[in-house]
Structure 1
Amino acid sequence: MSSEPDVSVVIPTCNRPELAVRAVRSALGQTHQNLEVIVVVDGPDEATVTALDAVGDPRLSVIVLPERGKAPNARNTGARAARGRWTAMLDDDDEWLPTKIERQLELAAAATVESPVIACRMISRTPRADTIMPRRLPEPGEPISEYLLVRRGLFYGDGFVQTSCIMAPTALWQKVPFTVGLRRAQELDWTLRAMREPGTALLYVEEPLVLWHQDENRERISLENPWREQLEWLRGNRELFTPRAYAAFTLSVLSSMAAPTRDTKLFRELLAEAREHGDPAAVDYLTHMQIWALPPSVRHRLRDVVVSRGKKNNAG
């Protein structure tokens, strides 16, 4: 094994020592061994530092930030410290399957662009079901914003990217950092901005290599609903979206954040936003209406049933 790692793994964490150790062990247990794992502890956290010290692997290093700055800042700190040519992000509540890095490096070696961003499929695990996302891969020439946001049915997951699935050149992470202060859509924001850089392309390993734990009984950033903040972000980054993708984001992602308010004025406001600045299709209108008509718990159960049935039909 080389004295210098060829892959750096960055794991941000805060006050979740058991989860952090689980994530670290999944990274250290990769079949590709020539890597380093950098855990960035987001503010003083003695319990997490003690738990990580007990791992006892020289490939693990820990950076403790003096104060809490949230996950994007912690990821940027880790990327700046990375020594590998490649850096892969791993959220502390997720796990990697053992061949994740090996398979991504194989795809990177075959890439024809200078700075490939290598993603993979993942297993989304909820208390009700396991589903594989994304359900489809990008088509040749498909705008990246449309691949990630435009639905072919009423439920998300057709096109998808998640932080723990992404490996990219370290130089790209350093040139295009995460947006500090953005609470939701962090990987979407990063991917859309990174794909504007010369020589980049988003490539996918076809098999699922990440286990995404969507535990619904604990606090998760993805359960926060800062819809107004996200609307301002969307308006300020309109150039990252095609009109079709702009409408899809407004009537799906923003709609799901705003719907718990049950404020019919917001329902109409988002509809007007999509029409004025985007190009909504019938599926976007249907998505918007079902999000506001059905409680989240009902939508989640319905999605699990529909997606699972689709998987069974494809298998047959």
Structure 2
Amino acid sequence: MRQRPVPIPRTPAPPCKRGPDVSVAPLVSVVIPAYNRVASIRVAIESVLRQSWTDFELLVVDDGSTDGTQDAVRAIPDPRLRLIETPRNMGASAARNLGIEEARGDWVAFQDSDDEWLPLKLEKQMARLLAPRPEGEAGYVAAYCGMMILGEPHGPVGAPDGRMWPRYFPGPEEGVVEGDLLVPLLRMSLISTQTLVARRDRLREVGGFDPELRALIDWDCVLRLAPLGPIAFVDEPLALQRFSTNSITRDRARKLAAQKRMAEKHAALFAAHPKLSARHHYVMAGGHRIAGDLPGARAELALARKLDPGNARYWGMSLGLAALSLLPGRSPDNGSDLK
């Protein structure tokens, strides 16, 4: 029997300055956290304001920007737009949580300050969320959609795993899934924050986003949402997410630390699914290998083999690491050739 996750401790929010309000509560609140995004915030905001679904408010939580982001937001004259300013930088998770607390809509959607939505995103997701459910089936607690992952503005770039952008996510290797997503989400992160629309009361129930995590924030949040009810999926690219090779390289160490934290934080869930836990350790082994940390990679692989001893992939990587350690001129614990 699944246990509901314990709400995370909240980071106390400092006093905030709030913009003008409107009198009628909307059905949807859209939250954009922003920190020093003066160059991209207008595009992100306008992609929300262009939505065919119009029953929403847009809350931009400026998280202590020092580059004029607040002025860029104020320059957009739309009564649905409300600027919330924090006197210091609290981090994206705390900024989103502040947006959830300020939200008046029954549903909360999230956009990132450097990404874009296509005009039909909210309309198509809300159509799924508000459609009558079969008798006896629980209502959806959230919905997500597909997105296009883009590279640099001047064309596709090569991803570190060999794939090219632009790329549709979730693709064939991830699969198209909806409903009870707990097990699929234990396998991998399927839902990016800017594709998520969730019930406000459920977001508050699980404690929103964890301010202690520096990566995989969306994965952690939806893992806590999944036990509360089914999640719908709109299999269309309704959001655009931009990445660069520099950002991925810069975030490797942060992502690996977050993966370890996820294994600890959701230990009970992973323990109930040993093969999925093994896969998680295998993925972390790959992170250590890319970083040149062969001892760390071997330790994670040992855990993966223990949990799923019949998986040939884990043994294959172990043999590959052993071969690397025997290369002439290489110390067994020197992974400099992998950096």
Which TM-score band (shorter chain)? Answer: 0.7 to 0.9
- Classify 1:186/1:145 alpha carbon distance in 2 versus 1 (closer, same or farther; 3 Å): farther
1:249 pairs, out of 261, 274, 280, with 280
- Classify 1:273/1:219 alpha carbon distance in 2 versus 1 (closer, same or farther; 3 Å): closer
1:133 aligns with 2:133: no
The separation in 2 between residues aligned to 1:25 and 1:290, in whole angstroms, is 49
The separation in 2 between residues aligned to 1:94 and 1:75, in whole angstroms, is 16
Q: Could you say which residue in structure 1 is the equivalent of 2:305?
A: 275
1:22 pairs, out of 43, 58, 80, with 43
Q: Percent identity?
A: 29
1:121 pairs, out of 146, 157, 172, with 146
Q: Could you say which residue in structure 2 is the equivalent of 1:171?
A: 201
Superposed displacement of residue 96, structure 1:
0.6
Q: Could you say which residue in structure 1 is the equivalent of 2:109?
A: 88
1:180 aligns with 2:211: yes
Superposed displacement of residue 93, structure 1:
1.7
> Is the CA contact 2:140–2:231 (under 8 Å) kept in the aligned structure 1?
no
Q: Could you say which residue in structure 1 is the equivalent of 2:334?
A: none
Superposed displacement of residue 166, structure 1:
0.5
- Classify 1:139/1:89 alpha carbon distance in 2 versus 1 (closer, same or farther; 3 Å): closer
1:144 aligns with 2:182: yes
> Is the CA contact 1:225–1:257 (under 8 Å) kept in the aligned structure 2?
no
**TM-score (normalizing by structure 2):** 0.74
- Classify 1:280/1:64 alpha carbon distance in 2 versus 1 (closer, same or farther; 3 Å): farther
Worse-superposed segment, 33-42 or 232-241: 232-241
The separation in 1 between residues aligned to 2:50 and 2:36, in whole angstroms, is 23
Q: Could you say which residue in structure 1 is the equivalent of 2:121?
A: 100
Equivalences for 1:191-210 in 2 at 5 Å? 191-197=222-228, 200-210=229-239
> Is the CA contact 2:141–2:225 (under 8 Å) kept in the aligned structure 1?
no
The separation in 2 between residues aligned to 1:215 and 1:12, in whole angstroms, is 20
> Is the CA contact 1:248–1:280 (under 8 Å) kept in the aligned structure 2?
no
Q: Could you say which residue in structure 1 is the equivalent of 2:4?
A: none
1:258 aligns with 2:288: yes
- Classify 1:139/1:205 alpha carbon distance in 2 versus 1 (closer, same or farther; 3 Å): closer
> Is the CA contact 1:247–1:275 (under 8 Å) kept in the aligned structure 2?
yes
- Classify 1:100/1:290 alpha carbon distance in 2 versus 1 (closer, same or farther; 3 Å): farther
Superposed displacement of residue 233, structure 1:
3.4
Task: Please provide the CA RMSD for this pair.
Answer: 3.0
Q: Could you say which residue in structure 2 is the equivalent of 1:7?
A: 28
Matched AA of 1:88: A
- Classify 1:283/1:102 alpha carbon distance in 2 versus 1 (closer, same or farther; 3 Å): farther
Q: Which has the larger radius of gyration?
A: 2
Return 5+ residue gaps in structure 2 as ranges. Answer: 1-21, 158-164, 325-339
Cα deviations across residues 13-64 of structure 1 (Å, max 9, x unaligned)? Answer: 1001122221111111100111111011112435000011111111111111
The separation in 2 between residues aligned to 1:212 and 1:17, in whole angstroms, is 17
The separation in 1 between residues aligned to 2:281 and 2:146, in whole angstroms, is 25
> Is the CA contact 1:184–1:221 (under 8 Å) kept in the aligned structure 2?
no
Superposed displacement of residue 249, structure 1:
1.9
**TM-score (normalizing by structure 1):** 0.79
The separation in 1 between residues aligned to 2:319 and 2:104, in whole angstroms, is 48
Give 1 or 2: higher helix fraction.
1
- Classify 1:219/1:61 alpha carbon distance in 2 versus 1 (closer, same or farther; 3 Å): farther
Superposed displacement of residue 274, structure 1:
2.2
Matched AA of 1:132: Y
- Classify 1:80/1:269 alpha carbon distance in 2 versus 1 (closer, same or farther; 3 Å): same
Q: Could you say which residue in structure 1 is the equivalent of 2:337?
A: none
Partner of 1:4, secondary structure, is coil
